[in-house]
A = this chain, B = another copy of it.
Amino acid sequence: MTTRRFDAIVRTLRANKHKLTPQRLAIVGVLAESRGHPSAEAIYEQLKGTFPTMSLATVYRNIQLIKSLGEVLELGFPDGGNRYDGKKPYPHPHLVCIRCKKIMDPDLESLKDMTTELSKETGFTVVSHRLDFFGLCPECAAKKEQDR
């Protein structure tokens, strides 16, 4: 099974003369298809069933490569456990659940105006941004009620 994003990333890899090893393709597959903004560790765990010799280093190296080609968005967190988004490899807002670590994509369009406004006011040349909202997803909010 292939998806639009999977094909696009493979095409970019080919265009830049990178070899298509089984491990690489598997990593691209996870990045392109998982909804859940997986961590490097999660990708590794998911693949080592199929590739018993798979190394975390390989996961990291391939993520870096694909990121350098602009085909994956890296969501770095200061307390480790970076997350990756191969579906939408451009900056967009995220909703991070502080309890279950789930990350979702909300629909928010007002951000573009903000960037323009900003450049005008400060003289800054804005090339990228990062917007995270932290809170409790509906499920975890419910569970928290039970904890009391």
Copies in the complex: 2
Which A87-123 residues sit within 8 Å CB-CB of chain B?
95, 97-98, 104, 106-108, 110, 113-115, 117-118, 121-123
Looking at chain A, what size class is its interface with the partner chain? 35 or more
Closest B residue, CB atoms, query A123: B138
**Are A126 and B135 closer than 8 Å at their CB atoms?**
yes
20 A–B pairs (Cβ distance < 8 Å), ordered by A: A76-B78, A78-B82, A95-B118, A95-B122, A95-B126, A106-B121, A106-B124, A107-B121, A110-B113, A123-B137, A123-B141, A124-B137, A125-B135, A126-B134, A127-B134, A128-B133, A129-B131, A129-B132, A130-B132, A130-B134
